[in-house]
């Protein structure tokens, strides 16, 4: 199943390291960072799980709930978490979905046959409180994710929702944002009384 930005994230029920969940109910009114990894007890995945755990406060500050998935069992996840905690000097508290029958991996198109027919690639889904998919990223099995970028795009999405703006290349919080071309100058002046810079008629930036 091919999932696109703006689609409703497919709901599912599953066993996790935090007990059984219904995905949409688990998200509740928050955002979700839903990500898959190929397998427990593997090196790149261990560093990614550890980094997610280390960033718990950063995700919480943004109202984001991380949740992992692989095609291993809950029992395997639980054993592996001890290694993650020990080797990455952290405490992993977010749930990891067990998907040994591959149902959820197939539902979210996490199986790429040229990589593996039974293990998920490194998929990322950022899902908003309305259960809409707002961003997707896919990494090959051999490349660990950039968590600074994951946090950055969450910030960009949330700022965009709040102020109805767009963000330029390499934007980070605190930098100027872009007023969409669909917003007339008069409306922009009302929305941004602090003023904005017109570089071109289609390129206006503002500090928020």
pLDDT digits (tens, 9 = 90+) for 105-162: 999 999 988 888 878 889 999 999 999 999 999 999 899 999 999 999 999 999 999 9
Is the pLDDT score of 47 beyond 80?
A: yes
- Of the residues 9, 14, 32, 45, only one is catalytic, namely 45
Q: Largest alpha-carbon pair distance within the chain?
A: 60
Q: What is the dihedral of CA 101, 104, 109, 115, to 10 degrees?
A: -40
Which residue in this structure is represented by tokens 């980070």? 172
| Orientation angle between helical segments 43-54 and 74-88, nearest 10 degrees | 70
Domains defined along the chain, listed by start: 13-157 (3.40.30.10), 164-206 (3.30.1020.10)
Both tokens of 34, joined, read: 């839903």
CA terminus-to-terminus distance, the chain: 39
Percent pLDDT > 90 in the chain is 94
For 83, residues 6+ apart whose C-beta sits below 8 A from its C-beta are 41, 46
Q: Is 120 a catalytic residue?
A: no
pTM for the model stands at 0.95
Is the pLDDT score of 15 beyond 90?
A: yes
For 63, residues 6+ apart whose C-beta sits below 8 A from its C-beta are 30, 31
Of the candidates 98, 92, 40, 34, which has an alpha carbon nearest to the alpha carbon of residue 68?
34
């Amino acid at each position: 199943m091919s999932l696109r930005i703006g689609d409703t994230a497919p709901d599912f029920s599953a066993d996790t390291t935090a007990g059984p969940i219904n995905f949409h109910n688990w998200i509740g009114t928050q955002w979700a960072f839903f990500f898959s990894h190929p397998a427990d007890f593997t090196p790149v995945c261990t560093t990614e799980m550890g980094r997610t755990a280390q960033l718990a406060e950063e995700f919480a500050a943004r109202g984001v709930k991380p949740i992992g998935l692989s095609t291993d069992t809950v029992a395997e996840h639980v054993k592996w978490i001890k290694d993650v905690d020990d080797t990455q000097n952290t405490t992993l508290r977010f749930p990891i979905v067990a998907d040994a029958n591959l149902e959820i991996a197939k539902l979210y198109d996490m199986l790429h046959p040229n990589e593996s027919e039974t293990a998920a690639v490194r998929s990322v889904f950022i899902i908003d409180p309305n259960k809409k998919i707002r961003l997707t990223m896919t990494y090959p099995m051999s490349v660990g994710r950039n968590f600074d970028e994951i946090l950055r795009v969450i910030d960009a999405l949330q700022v965009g929702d709040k102020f109805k703006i767009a963000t330029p290349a390499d934007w980070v919080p605190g930098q100027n944002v872009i007023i969409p071309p669909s917003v007339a100058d008069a409306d922009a002046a009302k929305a941004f009384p602090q003023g904005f810079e017109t570089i071109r008629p289609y390129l206006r930036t503002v500090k928020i």
